Structure 1
Amino acid sequence: MADDNNNIRQPLLKNHRYHENCPGCKVDQDKQMQQGLPVKQLLNVWMVTLCTALPVSCLFPFLYFMVRDFGIAKTEADVSSYAGYVGSSYMFARALTSFPWGMFADRYGRKRVIIMGLVAVVVFNTLFGLSTSFFMAVSTRFLLGFLNGSLGPIKAYAIELFREEHQALGLSTVSSAWGIALIIGPALGGYLAQPVEKYPNIFPKGSLFDKFPYFLPCLMISIFALAVLVACIWLPETLHNHKISNEINEDAEAIEKEITKNSVGKNENLLLNWPLMSSIIVYCLFSLHDMAYTEVFSLWAVSPQKLGGLNYSTDDVGNVFSISGFTLLLYQIFLYPAVQKICGPVRLAHVSAAISIPLLQIYPFIALLPGFTMDLFLTIASVLMLCLSTTVVTGLFIQQNKAVEQHQRGAANGIAMTAMSISKAVGPAGGGALLAWSQKRLNASFLPGTHMVFFVLNMIEALGVVMMFML
């Protein structure tokens, strides 16, 4: 049925009368004239997504030390639990507002929601870096998530901004920017946190960054977001501000009636759209896994060896994330487009999800390797996990956005973001608590220490793989 609808829409576009003052019509006209790869549009989507996602992950390398400095944890093992609460507050808040932001985007436009989200990043990400208490850290993260509802509309935007042949690449740009942000963010947090200790020649004792040792990475991200916010003044709007014209010829009217008849089930209730809802359920499982994995990896890496950690510094974590992010960028540019053309983005997502299970299971054994060998294999595993995860998310994005028409796409992505945010809110808190618990059972006879953490993560991943093959 989807192919039939696509065939019907082509003549409809040819007969459609473009409205002079409609931004959506202007974008449609530009799409008809597009030749070659739409680099400018891809860059716009990439930069906005990057700004939206960077604050999600920049805190992971230094969160353990930040919470420890607050002095709220009674024992060293409890630090991971409190760190999980800070990480979860953002996602919990976003779960509350993603659907309303999606509806707002359907009514008033994608651009307005994107701009409001960037303003929230500039203000509340900066305030988070200035946190002096556990309550302030949780509150600023909550407000950041509550007011930043742009990620769902960005996915709708990526579908509407590109021609049919480039839509998979557009959504891949969203997922790759998100994945790279989950790497660049921790890298910035790792390199720039506690600058007075790391770079005493540049940041002297008694300076602002001595009083607020975790402010610098947040400040850098906020400055970048401010620059992108200014650039968004020229961002095109894709939403149409009119109904179908009465001047469309009779043949086009008949075509529109056919589309309406074939799509009536979708238009009535998104919750009854099974292709949409099933892909969202699977998306939630992988989101839960990815967020818990990112939290666990960062906390596990900086934990002391006596608790089963790697005793990495924030710089060491930053190195791993930087290499992974750069490799993901190369993968998205050179390898992913060619492979997805051969086997399709959805089938590629299935294969990637299945491969990630045995890869994740070897993490505790990599930690047993000596010195440089451990660093090398851990970095390789991190690179592969990131590329596989991004491929899976891209396939699910495509399924979700193909399941609805434009006038419901913002709301549909809002539902997906709400469900995903709930999953990702559980992820850091659950991952942090699970790691803290595992570090208290180092001598257990069944899956001691971090073996239990990665086993649980693998069970979530396996459930997602099974459900994905049932779609």
Structure 2
Amino acid sequence: MLTETCVSNLTCFCCHLALNITAVQQYLETLHKHNGDAVDNSVETVEESLAGTDTEENGGGGCLKLFTNWPLMSAITLYCIFSLQDVAYAETFSLWAVSDRSFGGLSFTTTDVGNVLAMSGLFLFLYQMLIYPFLAKTVDHITLVRAVALLTLPVLASYPFFPSLSGFGLMVVVNCASFLKNTFSVTTITVFNILMNEAVTQDVRAAANGIAVTLMSISKAVAPAVAGIIFSWAQRRQTAAFLPGDHLVFFILNIFTFIGFVFTFRPFFVRGSAKH
């Protein structure tokens, strides 16, 4: 048990490390995409730049101006929606997997759940290191988010039908579904980190990321309570005619996904194009 716990923790650590490395790489690319421009490093230019920045911040309300930056705020809103859905799924998955089959669960042991999450983390690490950088360079960021959101819908909709499987086939299907769902979530979160940084200039990126992380943390704090309420409600609907049992849980998760997908279009989402 101790070995399995260590492997799971190590896999999660590697997964988060890969996410951070990929996000930093993409951030540096956006930061230096004008490398061909000439740079004047004279003292006079630096002083003028600093003076202009101070004047703009003092006259424009500083960080408060960020709340009027709609490309930034729309990206943060979508970031929060997908983060809430991701955490709600993570909370629901374990509860659903260990539930008895009579309640629509998989009757997994905690070891089985740990093995699924460990395998998902391992493949997610490989995806972040080998596949995502290629996708980020060949597919437009917001198009990638839309594609991922659409692919998430059938994946989540298939979960309530997993209890009809058993044995090795069940483990393969659950591992594949878990990997796909986590891959979609990490892709979305990484993309919105990039879009938020593209929406502001370099001198206010720290403040913008602070606002984004604060609002995202609030969303993630609410998500477990929301997931618990929905899961408890679903357990009392095992014989309902419409969306019985866990069908309700994954349907509501898909609602959040669909809302996020719709909000990626105009007029809600506006792509930022701040000069760096």
Q: Give the alignment's TM-score, normalised by structure 2.
A: 0.77
TM superposition shift of 1:378: 1.1
Gaps of 5+ in 2: 1-9, 34-40, 270-276
CA separation of 1:266 and 1:309: change in aligned 2, threshold 3 A: farther
Tell me which of 385, 392, 397 is aligned to 2:181: 385
Question: Are the equivalent residues in 2 in contact too, given 1:308–1:450 (CA < 8 A)?
Answer: yes
Q: Partner of 2:79 in structure 1?
A: 283
Question: Are the equivalent residues in 1 in contact too, given 2:76–2:212 (CA < 8 A)?
Answer: yes
Q: Partner of 1:437 in structure 2?
A: 233
CA separation of 1:164 and 1:299: change in aligned 2, threshold 3 A: same
d(CA) in 1 for partners of 2:150, 2:32: 25
Deviation sequence 1:92-144 (CA, Å, 0-9, x none) = xxxxxxxxxxxxxxxxxxxxxxxxxxxxxxxxxxxxxxxxxxxxxxxxxxxxx
Question: Are the equivalent residues in 2 in contact too, given 1:438–1:449 (CA < 8 A)?
Answer: yes
Matched residue type, 1:306: S
TM superposition shift of 1:278: 0.4
CA separation of 1:167 and 1:431: change in aligned 2, threshold 3 A: farther
Question: Are the equivalent residues in 2 in contact too, given 1:158–1:167 (CA < 8 A)?
Answer: no
CA separation of 1:437 and 1:167: change in aligned 2, threshold 3 A: farther
Q: Partner of 2:132 in structure 1?
A: 336
Tell me which of 164, 167, 176 is aligned to 2:29: 164
Matched residue type, 2:72: L
Q: Give the alignment's TM-score, normalised by structure 1.
A: 0.46
CA separation of 1:266 and 1:389: change in aligned 2, threshold 3 A: farther
- Percent identical pairs in the alignment equals 43
After the TM superposition, which residues 178-193 of structure 1 pair with which residues of structure 2 at under 5 Å, given as runs? none
Matched residue type, 1:366: F
TM superposition shift of 1:166: 8.2
Matched residue type, 1:269: K
TM superposition shift of 1:412: 1.3
d(CA) in 2 for partners of 1:416, 1:342: 26
Tell me which of 63, 68, 91 is aligned to 1:295: 91
CA separation of 1:446 and 1:368: change in aligned 2, threshold 3 A: same
Matched residue type, 1:429: A
CA separation of 1:164 and 1:320: change in aligned 2, threshold 3 A: same
Deviation sequence 1:257-304 (CA, Å, 0-9, x none) = 69x98xx97956111010110001111110110000000001111122
Matched residue type, 1:164: E
Matched residue type, 1:334: L
Q: Partner of 1:448 in structure 2?
A: 244
After the TM superposition, which residues 58-457 of structure 1 pair with which residues of structure 2 at under 5 Å, given as runs? 158=24, 163-164=28-29, 247-249=43-45, 253=48, 269-457=65-253
d(CA) in 2 for partners of 1:396, 1:288: 14
Q: Secondary structure at the match of 1:362?
A: helix
TM superposition shift of 1:253: 4.4
Question: Are the equivalent residues in 2 in contact too, given 1:287–1:420 (CA < 8 A)?
Answer: yes
Q: Secondary structure at the match of 1:468?
A: coil
Q: CA RMSD in A?
A: 3.3
Matched residue type, 1:373: G
Question: Are the equivalent residues in 2 in contact too, given 1:435–1:453 (CA < 8 A)?
Answer: yes
Matched residue type, 1:295: E
Gaps of 5+ in 1: 1-46, 55-153, 169-244
CA separation of 1:342 and 1:246: change in aligned 2, threshold 3 A: closer
CA separation of 1:323 and 1:50: change in aligned 2, threshold 3 A: closer
TM superposition shift of 1:452: 0.5
TM superposition shift of 1:392: 1.1
Matched residue type, 2:92: V
Question: Are the equivalent residues in 1 in contact too, given 2:235–2:246 (CA < 8 A)?
Answer: yes
Deviation sequence 1:171-227 (CA, Å, 0-9, x none) = xxxxxxxxxxxxxxxxxxxxxxxxxxxxxxxxxxxxxxxxxxxxxxxxxxxxxxxxx
Matched residue type, 1:394: T
TM superposition shift of 1:440: 1.5
Deviation sequence 1:395-434 (CA, Å, 0-9, x none) = 1111111222333222211211221122112211111121
Aligned length: 242
Question: Are the equivalent residues in 2 in contact too, given 1:307–1:442 (CA < 8 A)?
Answer: yes
TM superposition shift of 1:349: 2.0
Matched residue type, 2:126: L
Q: Which has the higher contact order (CA 8 A, sep 6+)?
A: 2
After the TM superposition, which residues 36-75 of structure 1 pair with which residues of structure 2 at under 5 Å, given as runs? 50=13
Question: Are the equivalent residues in 1 in contact too, given 2:106–2:162 (CA < 8 A)?
Answer: no
